């Protein structure tokens, strides 16, 4: 495949053949099925000419005029990416990344999607930037002082080129493993995200699970789950009852406590999918005497900020609501629950927009957990966690933010059979559900996510437990991130991992609480969900 093929109408550019995918260990080596094909009806209304997958559901233009308008809108958005007024957030790293790449391809072998696909050309980390560079070279560089040196013009802009480019921006999990190894500091993940941003901010195009069902719903009702403040009250009552049932402890989850030391900003999806995570936080904080609260304000009880994956404006709207909720309560700091992208959003990127009294200290809850565990305030018995445990490193917390050791020091203290994945720490692989993929259920995208973007993670997780393959031996992947847990659930369901290998997934705080000696029964219940 050459770059100029990108502009050719007709057949899809890549056909995913299960036989070419990176091999998995037995018994998963014979389980791959072909990725579901779109139905003829779906094909008639959405483009899948990149690789047979559609995440955006783009409808082809009805006329030549519509196609022209689409292209012009794209070019106007592309020009905006290179003006400091429109792109003050990421202009510099974008230009640097497009300009400095010497095409050495060191990054390609680091990309889990590219390698797991059987080195499918279109998934190379350098493919998206190269297409963008050529579009710039042919269509906008003359008018732009920053872009004059870009070469390569062999690409034609038409509907097909842009539909494929939009889809291709969503075949990268934004894990930044490629950026980590680039000798020139080129960040190809940033380029994927800038393409997504152009499509969203200029053209109103983004996956519906991320934009409409995610950001828009969160701004409207308070949470991307659709959970309203009254529904939050009901759910917290349920969680308090569960805590009492499991532990005999009557714990009131503090909500809207003015002047608390900590606002726990937690992913509300967990309250529904994995309530045990918030239960464990409540039990741990109660035992350690932490002065904390949740907020019931719109967006204040849901840490997610999907804008971090696709749109600076939507990102800023949610980040401001989060900071405002903390300010209204007068808390001393915000502690982010076990959610990786929320860490990136609120602790790293929000620095660019939060000023003065909205610039409230923001930290990860992981070092706080370490402080509690190491303080000796609560009694822990590691023999309660005497089962094989491995650790997944969420890309945003670990590679991006450098939170590497606190979770390991905790696990070494409370989990006698803790073992690392290979590789791990800042070199670890993305779960495959990063950048919104874990919440995306459209058409046949989930098949791609499980069999390609999650494939490397599945392989290294299975290998970490290679000495204990029997499903009779229950094993635990500690994944301290809501999206990573969502991806693990989907991935394990797709391949039947719970049944075949007995591997369970959960957070870090649950393992700590499971080791607490004043709980009569084990906290972890090993019920698949
Ligand atoms: S992005 Fe970096 S590592 Fe990848 S090809 Fe370019 S210069 Fe090489
Ligand atoms: S960010 Fe991750 S998925 Fe995207 S190109 Fe780089 S290594 Fe591949």
Q: What angle in degrees, to the nearest 10, is found between the helix axes of 482-495 and 455-464?
A: 80
CA triple 449-453-454, angle to 5 deg? 85
**336 bridge partner residues:** 265, 364
CB 506 within 8 A of CB 485: yes
Probe target for ligand 2 pocket from 174, 308, 448, with the most ligand atoms within 8 Å of CB? 174
Probe target for ligand 1 pocket from 98, 99, 100, 103, with the most ligand atoms within 8 Å of CB? 103
Question: Which residues make Cβ contacts (< 8 Å) with residue 426, sequence separation at least 6?
Answer: 180, 393, 398, 399, 402, 404
| H helix runs in 101-172, sequence order | 112-116, 127-135, 159-168
What is d(CA 191, CA 34) in angstroms, rounded to the nearest whole number?
A: 30
Indicate which atom in ligand 1 lies nearest the CA of residue 100.
7
Q: Half-sphere exposure of residue 497, counting CA atoms within 13 Å on the CB side?
A: 27
Nearest CA to ligand 2 atom 6: 178
Q: Which ligand has its closest atom nearest to the C-alpha of 457?
A: 2
Residue 223, judged by CB atoms within 10 A of its CB (0-12, 13-18, 19+), counts as buried
Nearest CA to ligand 1 atom 4: 107
Beta strands in 356-488 (DSSP E): 362-364, 389-391, 418-419, 475-478
Probe target for ligand 1 pocket from 111, 182, 185, with the most ligand atoms within 8 Å of CB? 182
What is d(CA 225, CA 272) in angstroms, rounded to the nearest whole number?
A: 9
Residue 232 Cβ < 6 Å to ligand 2: no
Q: What is the pLDDT of residue 153?
A: 73
Question: Which residues make Cβ contacts (< 8 Å) with residue 409, sequence separation at least 6?
Answer: 370, 373, 374
Ligand 2: distance of its center to the CA of 172 in Å?
Answer: 5
Ligand 1: distance of its center to the CA of 309 in Å?
Answer: 22
Nearest CA to ligand 2 atom 2: 175
Ligand 1: distance of its center to the CA of 86 in Å?
Answer: 27
Ligand 1: distance of its center to the CA of 199 in Å?
Answer: 24
Nearest CA to ligand 1 atom 6: 101
Ligand 2: distance of its center to the CA of 173 in Å?
Answer: 6
Nearest CA to ligand 2 atom 5: 125
Q: What is the pLDDT of residue 254?
A: 98
Q: What is the pLDDT of residue 4?
A: 84
Q: What is the pLDDT of residue 239?
A: 98
Ligand 1: distance of its center to the CA of 268 in Å?
Answer: 38
CB 283 within 8 A of CB 249: yes
Ligand 2: distance of its center to the CA of 189 in Å?
Answer: 6
Residues of the chain with pLDDT under 50: none
Nearest CA to ligand 2 atom 4: 172
What is d(CA 323, CA 354) in angstroms, rounded to the nearest whole number?
A: 8
Ligand 1: distance of its center to the CA of 118 in Å?
Answer: 20
Is the backbone of residue 127 left (phi > 0), alpha (psi -120 to 50) or beta?
Answer: alpha
Nearest CA to ligand 2 atom 8: 111
Ligand 1: distance of its center to the CA of 125 in Å?
Answer: 8
Residue 398 Cβ < 6 Å to ligand 2: no
Probe target for ligand 2 pocket from 121, 178, 399, 427, with the most ligand atoms within 8 Å of CB? 178
Q: What is the pLDDT of residue 141?
A: 75
Ligand 1: distance of its center to the CA of 348 in Å?
Answer: 24
Ligand 2: distance of its center to the CA of 108 in Å?
Answer: 8
| Six token digits for residue 373 | 């565990």
What is d(CA 239, CA 17) in angstroms, rounded to the nearest whole number?
A: 45
Q: Half-sphere exposure of residue 394, counting CA atoms within 13 Å on the CB side?
A: 33
Nearest CA to ligand 1 atom 7: 101
Indicate which atom in ligand 1 lies nearest the CA of residue 129.
1
């Amino acid at each position: 495949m050459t770059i100029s093929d990108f502009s050719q109408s007709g057949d899809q550019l890549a056909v995913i053949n299960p036989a070419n995918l990176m091999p998995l260990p037995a018994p998963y080596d014979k389980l791959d099925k072909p990725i579901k094909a779109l139905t003829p009806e779906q094909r008639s209304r959405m483009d899948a000419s990149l690789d047979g997958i559609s995440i955006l559901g783009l409808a082809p233009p009805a006329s030549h005029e519509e196609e022209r308008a689409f292209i012009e809108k794209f070019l106007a958005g592309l020009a905006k990416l290179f003006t400091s007024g429109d792109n003050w957030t990421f202009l510099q790293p974008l230009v640097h990344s497009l300009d400095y790449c010497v095409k050495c391809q060191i990054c390609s072998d680091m990309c889990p999607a590219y390698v797991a696909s059987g080195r499918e050309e279109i998934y190379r980390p350098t493919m998206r930037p190269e297409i963008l560079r050529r579009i710039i070279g042919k269509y906008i560089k003359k008018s732009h002082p920053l872009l004059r040196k870009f070469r390569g013009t062999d690409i034609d802009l038409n509907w097909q080129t842009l539909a494929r480019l939009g889809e291709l921006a969503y075949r990268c999990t934004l894990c930044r493993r490629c950026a980590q190894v680039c000798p020139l500091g080129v960040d190809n993940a940033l380029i994927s995200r800038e393409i997504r941003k152009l499509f969203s901010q200029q053209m109103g195009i983004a996956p519906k699970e991320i934009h409409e069902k995610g950001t828009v719903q969160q701004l409207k009702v308070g949470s991307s789950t659709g959970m309203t403040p009254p529904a939050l009250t009901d759910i917290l009552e349920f969680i308090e009852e569960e805590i009492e049932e499991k532990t005999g402890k009557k714990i009131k989850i503090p909500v809207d406590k003015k002047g608390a030391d900590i606002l726990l900003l937690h992913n509300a999806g967990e309250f529904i999918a994995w309530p045990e995570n918030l239960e464990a936080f409540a039990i741990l904080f109660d035992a350690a005497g932490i002065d904390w609260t949740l907020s019931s304000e719109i967006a204040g009880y849901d840490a997610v900020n999907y804008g971090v994956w696709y749109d600076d404006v939507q990102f800023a709207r949610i980040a401001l609501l989060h900071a405002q909720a903390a300010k209204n309560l007068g808390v001393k700091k915000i502690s982010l629950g076990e959610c990786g992208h929320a860490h990136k959003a609120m602790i790293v990127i929000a620095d660019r927009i939060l000023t003065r009294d909205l610039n409230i200290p923001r930290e990860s809850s992981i070092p706080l957990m370490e402080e509690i565990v190491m303080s000796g305030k609560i009694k822990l018995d590691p023999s309660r966690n005497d089962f094989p445990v491995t650790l997944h490193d969420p890309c945003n917390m670990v590679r991006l933010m450098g939170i590497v050791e606190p979770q390991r020091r905790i696990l070494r203290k409370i989990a006698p059979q803790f073992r690392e994945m290979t590789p791990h720490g800042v070199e670890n692989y993305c779960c495959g559900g990063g950048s919104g993929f874990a919440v995306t259920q459209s058409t046949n995208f989930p098949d791609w996510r499980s069999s390609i973007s999650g494939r490397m993670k599945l392989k290294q997780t299975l290998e970490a437990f290679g000495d204990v393959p029997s499903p009779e031996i229950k094993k635990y992947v500690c994944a301290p991130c809501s999206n990573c847990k969502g991806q693990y659930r989907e991935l394990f369901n797709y391949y039947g991992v719970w049944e075949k290998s007995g591997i369970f997934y959960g957070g870090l705080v649950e393992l700590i609480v499971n080791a607490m000696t004043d709980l009569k029964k084990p906290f972890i219940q090993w019920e698949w969900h």
